[in-house]
Structure 1
């Protein structure tokens, strides 16, 4: 094992090796632990050696995002648009679950990276090949939002809040005080739903994967209905 590690350390440094090591470090210790110094130490090089391959930490982060997005399955050929888009999005979700730091990293960028743009471009291509107008495809991408990349901005998401604040562990959802439950009985009913996924980011009583697919299928079914009706934004505004 020590011999293998030595061989890896002696392997020539490349941009791909730097990016993949950064992804592995973020997967293991969290994105907040990533620094050029820590990454250099992990690779067994001096920090200045990294700058031959990435100009700065922003470029490093962009490259890491592209590595992760590159793991998403390619589009399924010659299938109905709804099957193709659903499969692509669920593949994206599976990838981001392997890299839990990635959604916040993607959101933090001022401009989409090349791999993200290529992914979005191919998804729009699926819609257009499936009979969508550019007009409808435009609004569909707005409706899908971050879900098209495999994650959603949940209403009660302690894990994502923890990622922003640097907290080590997300706090479990607190029960509603009796007076609050009495004032807002419908919210209380949802909060008290039977728990079947204690790790869910949307609170007890919700299974993340089920909720994600449930909303995705609602959207895709509604989108197909609009496509069949020949929907246009001009008609939608009336």
Structure 2
């Protein structure tokens, strides 16, 4: 039986009562602080001041715990809007913000669809807003937006992690590599790249994300008008 449907053990009078919600909340706090490497049933039990064996009545494996953590964060992703474009924009923005709050989420999203209750509710909210769109296009549209967001946020999280690992933020990294890049551009063999580096507007992460999203939504709108 899947963890979503498996009953929790009955409550009993003990010094430290448990529930799946408390276990998941503790696991998320550990992951937010120190990444997924900090999450194990033993460490979660220690944070809750209970023995590890008590957790097995609620969660059978670490994979189940990760599924529950992921679904708990999906509760933070509730797209809103008055039309498909607003809802898909909200989906993208709220997903990105959830990943930026919970950096470890970048390592779990993607792949097979999530089927927890909050993930399903998110899917229902988005697909309801696409009422009137060809049923064969609805899921590909959502998948296109999800794929864009996943790629964008993984790049942002990779930058955060590189900054921590090297001690250099983006500007310091650019300054350190700048002379090398300039020597390459001065060869004249990279004229298109040189033009972009020299003349293009350099956007912030927020601006880059929103511009890319606009380009995607414009493409979707053009397709829907056919």
**Shorter chain as normaliser: what TM range?**
0.7 to 0.9
Question: Who is 2:9 aligned against?
Answer: none
Q: Matched residue pairs, number?
A: 202
Does residue 80 in structure 1 map to residue 121 in structure 2?
no
Contact 2:103-2:157 at 8 Å conserved across structures: no
Q: Equivalents in 2 of 1:116, 1:68: separation in Å?
A: 9
C-alpha distance in 2 between matches for 1:180 and 1:142: 38
The aligned runs of 1:8-47 (5 Å cut-off) are 10-47=15-52
Give how far 1:17 is off. Answer: 0.4
The alpha-carbon deviation at position 75 of structure 1 amounts to 3.5
Partners of 1:103 and 1:207 lie apart in 2 by: 20
Superposition TM-score, scaled by structure 2 size: 0.74
Instruction: State the distance in 2 between where 1:85 and 1:184 align.
Output: 37
Alpha carbons 1:72, 1:92 under 8 Å: kept = yes
- The answer (yes or no) to whether the contact 2:16–2:50 under 8 Å persists in 1 is no
Asked if 1:124 is matched to 2:122, the reply is no
1:97 aligned onto 2:133: no
Determine the structure 2 residue equivalent to 1:219.
216
RMSD over equivalenced CA pairs, Å = 3.2
- Distance of 2:195 and 2:48 partners within structure 1: 52
- Aligned in 2, Cα 1:84/1:111: closer, same or farther, shift over 3 Å? closer
1:62–1:113 contact (8 Å) kept in structure 2: no
> What SS does the corresponding residue of 1:71 show, helix, strand or coil?
coil
Distance (whole Å) between structure 2 residues aligned to residue 225 and residue 194 of structure 1: 26
Gaps of 5+ in 2: 1-13
CA displacement at 1:139 relative to structure 2: 3.2
Q: 1:51 aligns with which of 56, 65, 71?
A: 56
Shift of 1:69: 0.6
Q: Which runs of structure 1 show a deviation greater than 4 angstroms over 4 or more consecutive aligned residues? A: 188-195
Deviation, 1:136, is 2.5
The structural deviation recorded for 1:26 is 0.4
Is 2:151 the counterpart of 1:153?
Answer: yes
